Amino acid sequence: MKKNMEDEQKRDKPISKTVISRLPRYYRFLGMIEAEGVSKTSSSDLARRMGLTASQIRQDLNCFGGFGQQGYGYNVSELKKDIGDILGINNNYSCVLFGAGNIGMAISQHLNFSALGFKLTAIFDINKNLIGKKIYGVEIHDVSEYESLKEKLNPKAAILCTPDEVGFETTKLLYDSGVRYFWNFSHYNINKDFEDAIVENVHLNDSLMTLCYAITNDDKID
């Protein structure tokens, strides 16, 4: 009994955000070399391909329990599967997208959700011209329909691509229905009002403007 509890604690010890953020990269690189027909790899081979150090890779993978064998290395398909399981890539979590404007349409049309752990189950907007249309089989509904659809959709996560001024009310609608995970492309600061929400922010405009600043300032210094 005691042993089990210790195992539990070991499994649940917090892993740094930096290590976690590298897991998708490992998963991606392993998929790439698997596609090349490579069946075995080593921490130094992965290090070379990924621009990391071998010891960093060994340390990272050790956070999740031992993978690979001393002197043998890693079985590519097995390691990929194990990391995929850690990420939860096969869970097909239901997610809904709010805001079918430019970014929202781009995201819903161009991402391979099922390969990333999710299933896009519905899109919501207020633009009457969009309601009823389908994006790869996923229907665009009026925002007012969310209440009646939420039980069926049972979303675990929401993708927020809404204008700034409706960020709060949209998040509240979702939060009140039990959604705690947000992929946020809008500029609304979710955690300001919903502290326990788990948010991944992607601010494309800010990112491009930051590059603009870098160019402008190098130009000044030249």
**Which residue, 152, 149, 80, is CA-closest to 115?**
80
Alpha-carbon gap, residue 160 to 170, rounded angstroms: 8
Q: Which is nearer to a copy of itself, 41 or 145 (CB)?
A: 41
* Paired residues of 74 in beta bridges: 41
171 contacts 197 by C-beta, under 8 angstroms: yes
- Kindly write out the interface string for residues 140-179 of this chain, putting x where it contacts a copy of itself by CB under 8 A and - elsewhere: ----------------xx------xx--------------
Kind plus residue range of the DSSP H or E element containing 4:
helix 2-12
CA distance linking residue 82 with residue 101, whole number of Å: 37
Q: Which of 51, 66, 71, 137 binds a copy of itself (CB under 8 A)?
A: 51
**Does the protein bind a copy of itself through residue 38 (CB under 8 A)?**
no
Q: Name the maximum alpha-carbon separation found in the chain.
A: 68
State how far the Cα of 106 lies from the Cα of 28, in Å rounded to an integer: 22
**Among residues 109, 114, 127, 144, the one that binds a copy of itself under rule CB under 8 A:** 109
Of 6, 151, 219, 222, which lies in the binding site for a copy of itself, with binding defined by CB under 8 A? 219
C-alpha triplet 88, 93, 99: angle, nearest 5° = 130
Interface stretch with a copy of itself, choices 25-33, 39-47, 124-132, 147-155 (CB under 8 A): 25-33
Residue 25 makes contact with a copy of itself by CB under 8 A: yes
Question: What's the rounded Cα separation, in Å, for the pair 169 and 165?
Answer: 9
Quote the least distance from Cβ 138 to a copy of itself, whole Å.
15
Shortest distance, CB of residue 88 to a copy of itself, whole angstroms?
A: 3
Among 58, 81, 119, 187, binds a copy of itself (CB under 8 A): 187
Non-local (6+) Cβ contacts of 128 within 8 A are 142
Q: Kindly list the residues in this chain that would bind a copy of itself in the complex (CB under 8 A).
A: 11-12, 20-21, 23-25, 27-28, 32, 50-51, 86-89, 91, 93, 102-103, 105-107, 109-113, 116-118, 156-157, 164-165, 180-181, 183, 187, 189, 192, 198, 200, 202-221
